[in-house]
């Protein structure tokens, strides 16, 4: 998995550092079945969270793109999928509660929520826990 954070093309000073993230999901890792929430007939190319086929070093991969302006709803959907597959994630996957991942400190010390960071952290945690189950 390759993770790249980058500013939106229309980055403004007041964006509070909400970066986009691009995740290259290489087939060498068993990724969760995200296709369930990315039905091509329902997903707009302008959606804040997108899954699309891509190529990386000449090989087919999935690319998960999350815009800095992503909202809580797609995070919740992906969180449900990941938490249903890994029992140890249930402690952080609390329905109707605040998302524990993706918290960052702003320039004046205030707490900010970054949904692209939250999804990246959750997906990385998923893979670490999945690997620990596999090698037990």
- The domain spans of the chain are 2-134
H helical segments located in the chain? 72-85, 115-134
Provide φ and ψ at 112, rounded to 5°: -120, 155
pLDDT for 67 equals 92
Q: Per-residue pLDDT tens for 78-121?
A: 888 887 777 777 666 665 556 667 888 888 888 888 889 988 98
Displacement of CA 127 from its chain's centroid (Å) = 12
Q: Per-residue pLDDT tens for 42-55?
A: 666 678 888 889 99
Measure Cα distances from 122 to 44, 76, 80, 85, 108 in Å.
24, 11, 11, 12, 26
Burial of 119 (0-12, 13-18, 19+ CB in 10 A): buried
Which residues partner with 20 through β-bridges? 6
Cα–Cα distance, 119 to 50 (Å, whole number): 12
Cα–Cα distance, 55 to 39 (Å, whole number): 20
Residue 23: Cβ within 10 Å count: 22
pTM, two decimals, is 0.79
């Amino acid at each position: 998995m390759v993770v790249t954070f980058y500013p939106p093309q229309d980055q403004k000073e007041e964006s509070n550092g909400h970066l986009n993230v691009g995740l290259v999901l290489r087939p060498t890792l068993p990724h969760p079945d995200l296709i369930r929430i990315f039905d091509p007939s329902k997903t707009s190319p302008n959606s804040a969270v997108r899954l699309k086929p891509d190529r990386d070093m000449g090989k087919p991969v999935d690319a998960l793109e999350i815009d800095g302006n992503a909202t809580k709803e797609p995070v919740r959907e992906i969180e449900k999928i990941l938490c249903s597959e890994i029992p140890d994630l249930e402690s952080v996957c609390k329905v109707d509660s605040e998302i524990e991942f993706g918290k960052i400190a702003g320039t004046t010390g205030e707490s900010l929520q970054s949904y692209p960071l939250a999804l990246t952290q959750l997906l990385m945690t998923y893979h670490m826990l999945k690997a620990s189950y596999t090698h037990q």
